[in-house]
Amino acid sequence: MAVTDTVSTESATDSSTPEDVDVALLDEIAARVLWLAVRIVDSANHDRENADGIKVGGHQASSASLVTAMTALWFRHLTAHDKVAVKPHASPVFHAIQYLLGGLDSSYLTTLRARGGLQSYPSRTKDPDEVDFSTGSVGLGVASPLFADAVRRYVDAHFGARPRSRFIALVGDAELDEGNIWEAVFDAATAGLSDTMWIVDFNRQSLDRVVPGVRIGQWRGLFESAGWHVVEVKYGARLQAAFGRRGGSALRDWMDAMPNEHYQSLFGLGGSELRGRFLEGAPDDVRELVRLLPDDELSTLVTDLGGHSMTAMLAAYDECDRVVDRPSVVFAYTVKGWGLPIAGNPRNHSALLTTQQVDELRSGIGLSREGEWDSFDAESAPGRLCAERAAILRREPRSPRLDISVPSETRVRVAKPLSTQEAFGRVLVELSRLERVAPYLVTTAPDVATSTNLAGFINRMGVFAPDVRRAWSEDPVLRWAEGPRGHHLELGISEMNLFLLLGQLGLAWDLSAQPLLAVGTVYDPFVCRGLDAFIYAVYSGSRFVIAGTPAGVTLAPEGGAHQSTITPSIGLELPGVTAIEPAYATALDWLLCDAFGRIASGESTVEESGVVDTGAYYFRLTTRPIEQGPFAAAAERIGAAELRRQVLRGGYRLVEPEPTAVAEGAPAITLVGTGAVLPEVLTAAAELADEGVVTHVVDVTSADRLYRAWQHGLRVGIRTASPPRRSTALAELFPHRTPVVTVHDGASHTLSWIGSALGVPCVSVGVDEFGQTGSIGDLYELHDLSAGSVVNAALAALSLT
């Protein structure tokens, strides 16, 4: 490792090493970090018993290329307030650093990819050390710090400035191929965020291949056009020196223009082969310059890249720090597999060092087998630096709890037929009137705020912008007033951005020390468009409300491209999210207030049924106004408090059959509906009752909660080898063993499990084909959701008994 580096940033303004930086010491620490990262992966693959017949895996080459950049960050640049997303495949480097800083017990070093051990990729919720951003699905971890910075800007404006945090992402260069990165970079909501710095590990390799051509010009142009500051840390000290010699500028031009494939092919070569390959097509000046260099020196020279120079990396970080009006990106030219025998090999992505190669690496840095996991001696210079940095990086504890009481309902007005989407808008307006709740409410939408009924909220609370902006329109219906007091964060049309921002709003308690009540809205079909970011948000433990609206074929005239059918399954199956689909306004009011209350509590509540609720809520809503009378009647019959309990639990009995009918011992059926189709279910129930069928109607407000309660009972049985525990919710909702018809404006399978749960015949109707344009009546007819179809489904179910 070079100790005499000079700065090689092309645009670094201050190229000297600050006096208090001991580059040799940092390089010594980097060598140990590299060793530990390599050995963590090696141990997972070679020291543990493995009966699975599959390789454990891990990424030594991807780790090695970030060792310099990460050592420079943690051992010099970062403060306790900074937040960092680590490239997924460099997780061993992160854990090695945490270990040296005392943030990870040594017992974990041999647990990479083992149950309960270090996760393959950094995980906020599962790793034993403190991870700021989960990463794994490439691209998402890159954009997250940018949105976390946007959230900080919001939090600072509303709650007073926090100590400055820098939001940093360590990025694989091939991650830049993910479109979500550019959606984030180009959205106005992320403009001007000067505390963001991305460090691109520019090793010119992805998983399969050497990235074709030379892409830096394209990347630079994209970032600059989005208003970012770009730094290139390209060449190391040796090459910098060579460029200063006679023929140096020709050498530089030659290397700048060399396609990645050509350059990378040099790594596998030694001696005269490398010389020959390097000079293929080179101008005479270049030939002349390297003529007198011995082969091994030529190899060292041409592979001397700036991303492995401590001085250059620190200078780049400092330069970015001085930029006060825009985000920064550092292109650190690196070698994948730096310092390892697999350096630069095009097939090195998942290559593992052999045991002999690991032995050589160990002895190369002066360690023995006995002391191989040791941290630095506390009295040594690196040991002292570790202790000093650990003290600087120690953080204060943070809590997701918001000390406010959220009301259990807003008593939203329900005089006329009302849609759940409209009720949603009204509940938010009502909550925004409450002094204790309003300050924490924040909404966001990808250009669909008004069409998802956020206008009322926006009129009262304003749109967020870092500075006051003139409103040019004087629309009396919608006041789009932008300024630092605004509570709505508007995004361009990118559902990825929506879920990334929402995810970060729901983690503001941690990354900005301020819990928030975050709400996003999205057209329900486009939940799928942002799905990976949605999953990422809940996997990261974020707490928020998302309203998918309008949903289903009930959006009739909009046609198939806008009608969601599979989203109920997403809500039901996605861990960490509770999917909710009420039909009536008061039910929605209760459910939404309850969701905010749970988010504010900061806890993962465990329900009576054993269901764990982790704080993210997905409301699936529609624009269909429906008659609210049946709900009022149920409230009258059941009592408001008891009905509320049932609505929150996942369902209630909307209609009880006439006692006289029951006495006659007639055939009996239970109709189960969820969401917008309840009017058809009720009409069908009345028709069936007229035909002498004893008809029960259950309104399922959360199939997810009912399903989890059922599954929990089964799992307890499986895990204790005892009879399954019956779900009390299902027992209360379905006291009679009748056949069941389920009706849902969504894929029919979402509710079809109820038949199995009850052990009765079950006919499920729902939307199992793409929709099309038409009226609600037309569409319900087409998908068997009309009252007549529900009656026929009931007759079919009865015939199965």
Ligand X SMILES: Cc1ncc(C[n+]2csc(CCOP(=O)(O)OP(=O)(O)O)c2C)c(N)n1
Binding site for ligand X (CB under 6 A): 62, 65, 88-89, 137-138, 172-175, 201, 203, 205-207, 336, 349
Helix (H, G, I), strand (E, B) or coil at 779: helix
Shortest distance (Å) from residue 200 CB to Mg ion: 9
Query: Which residue reads 């509303």 in tokens?
Result: 158
User: Among Mg ion, ligand X, none, what does residue 339 contact (CB within 5–8 Å per kind)?
Assistant: none
> How much of the chain is helix, strand and coil, in % rounded to 5?
45, 15, 40
Shortest distance (Å) from residue 532 CB to ligand X: 7
Q: Which of 92, 144, 145 is nearest to 119 (CA)?
A: 92
Angstrom distance (rounded) from CA 782 to CA 776: 10
Closer of 210 and 465 to Mg ion (Cβ): 210
Shortest distance (Å) from residue 260 CB to Mg ion: 10
Closer of 88 and 550 to ligand X (Cβ): 88
Cα atoms in the 13 Å half-sphere on the side-chain side of 330:
31
Backbone angles phi, psi at 376, to 5 degrees: -70, 150
Closer of 140 and 555 to ligand X (Cβ): 140
With beta carbons less than 8 A apart as the criterion, state whether 502 and 445 touch. no
Shortest distance (Å) from residue 88 CB to ligand X: 6
Q: Is 205 an interacting residue with respect to Mg ion (CB under 5 A)?
A: yes
Strand order in the sheet with 544-548: 482-483, 463-464, 488-491, 441-446, 517-522, 544-548, 616-620, 577-580
Q: Is 232 an interacting residue with respect to Mg ion (CB under 5 A)?
A: no
Task: Give the list of residues 6+ apart from residue 672 with CB closer than 8 angstroms, or none.
Answer: 651, 697, 698, 700, 740, 741, 742, 743, 751, 754
Q: Which stretch binds Mg ion (CB under 5 A): 173-181, 553-561, 673-681, 748-756?
A: 173-181
Angstrom distance (rounded) from CA 187 to CA 380: 48
CA distances (Å), 514 to each of 178, 437, 511, 590, in order? 30, 14, 8, 25
Closer of 136 and 456 to Mg ion (Cβ): 136
User: Among ligand X, Mg ion, none, what does residue 578 contact (CB within 5–8 Å per kind)?
Assistant: none
- Cα-Cα-Cα-Cα torsion 412, 413, 414, 420, nearest 10 degrees, comes to -40
Closer of 9 and 63 to ligand X (Cβ): 63
Q: Is 452 an interacting residue with respect to Mg ion (CB under 5 A)?
A: no
Shortest distance (Å) from residue 339 CB to Mg ion: 16
Shortest distance (Å) from residue 336 CB to ligand X: 5
How far from each other are the two terminal CA atoms of the chain, in whole angstroms? 78
DSSP state of 9: B
User: Among Mg ion, ligand X, none, what does residue 207 contact (CB within 5–8 Å per kind)?
Assistant: ligand X
The type of residue at 780 is: Y
Closer of 534 and 584 to ligand X (Cβ): 534
Closer of 62 and 119 to ligand X (Cβ): 62
Beta strands in 477-609 (DSSP E): 482-483, 488-491, 517-522, 544-548, 577-580, 605-606
With beta carbons less than 8 A apart as the criterion, state whether 435 and 466 touch. no
Shortest distance (Å) from residue 174 CB to ligand X: 3
Closer of 154 and 331 to Mg ion (Cβ): 331
User: How is residue 645 written in tokens?
Assistant: 């309990």
- The site string for Mg ion over 126-165 (x = CB under 5 A, - otherwise) reads ----------------------------------------
User: Among Mg ion, ligand X, none, what does residue 71 contact (CB within 5–8 Å per kind)?
Assistant: none
Angstrom distance (rounded) from CA 189 to CA 446: 11
**Which of 17, 203, 554, 622 lies at the binding interface for Mg ion (CB under 5 A)?**
203
Closer of 145 and 344 to Mg ion (Cβ): 344
Q: Which stretch binds Mg ion (CB under 5 A): 166-174, 184-192, 395-403, 527-535?
A: 166-174
Closer of 87 and 426 to ligand X (Cβ): 87
* Nearest-CB residue for ligand X: 172
Closer of 344 and 673 to Mg ion (Cβ): 344
User: How is residue 410 written in tokens?
Assistant: 């807003």
Angstrom distance (rounded) from CA 184 to CA 189: 8
User: Among ligand X, Mg ion, none, what does residue 704 contact (CB within 5–8 Å per kind)?
Assistant: none
Shortest distance (Å) from residue 500 CB to ligand X: 14
Angstrom distance (rounded) from CA 621 to CA 423: 10
Shortest distance (Å) from residue 95 CB to ligand X: 17
Q: Is 173 an interacting residue with respect to Mg ion (CB under 5 A)?
A: yes
Closer of 179 and 575 to ligand X (Cβ): 179
Q: Which stretch binds Mg ion (CB under 5 A): 144-152, 198-206, 345-353, 370-378?
A: 198-206
Angstrom distance (rounded) from CA 661 to CA 218: 75
Closer of 60 and 203 to Mg ion (Cβ): 203
Closer of 174 and 489 to Mg ion (Cβ): 174
User: Among ligand X, Mg ion, none, what does residue 766 contact (CB within 5–8 Å per kind)?
Assistant: none
**Which of 145, 172, 650, 651 lies at the binding interface for Mg ion (CB under 5 A)?**
172
Q: Is 175 an interacting residue with respect to Mg ion (CB under 5 A)?
A: no
User: Among ligand X, Mg ion, none, what does residue 564 contact (CB within 5–8 Å per kind)?
Assistant: none
Q: Which of 87, 151, 138, 73 is nearest to 320 (CA)?
A: 73
With beta carbons less than 8 A apart as the criterion, state whether 307 and 275 touch. no
Task: Give the list of residues 6+ apart from residue 717 with CB closer than 8 angstroms, or none.
Answer: 723, 724, 725
DSSP-derived secondary structure for 134-192: ---STTHHHHHHHHHHHHHHHHHHHH-PPSP--EEEEEEGGGGGSHHHHHHHH-GGGTT
Shortest distance (Å) from residue 92 CB to ligand X: 12
Shortest distance (Å) from residue 174 CB to Mg ion: 5
Angstrom distance (rounded) from CA 78 to CA 240: 27
Shortest distance (Å) from residue 130 CB to ligand X: 22
Closer of 205 and 564 to Mg ion (Cβ): 205
Shortest distance (Å) from residue 359 CB to ligand X: 25
User: Among Mg ion, ligand X, none, what does residue 137 contact (CB within 5–8 Å per kind)?
Assistant: ligand X
User: Among ligand X, Mg ion, none, what does residue 319 contact (CB within 5–8 Å per kind)?
Assistant: none
Across the chain, which distance is largest between two alpha carbons, in Å? 107
User: Among ligand X, Mg ion, none, what does residue 488 contact (CB within 5–8 Å per kind)?
Assistant: none
User: Among Mg ion, ligand X, none, what does residue 614 contact (CB within 5–8 Å per kind)?
Assistant: none
User: Among Mg ion, ligand X, none, what does residue 138 contact (CB within 5–8 Å per kind)?
Assistant: ligand X
Looking at the DSSP bridge assignments, the partners of residue 741 are 671, 763
Q: Determine the size of the site formed for Mg ion (CB under 5 A).
A: 5
Shortest distance (Å) from residue 179 CB to Mg ion: 17
Angstrom distance (rounded) from CA 520 to CA 517: 10
Angstrom distance (rounded) from CA 118 to CA 108: 7
Shortest distance (Å) from residue 312 CB to ligand X: 19
Residue numbers of the site for Mg ion (CB under 5 A)?
Answer: 172-174, 203, 205
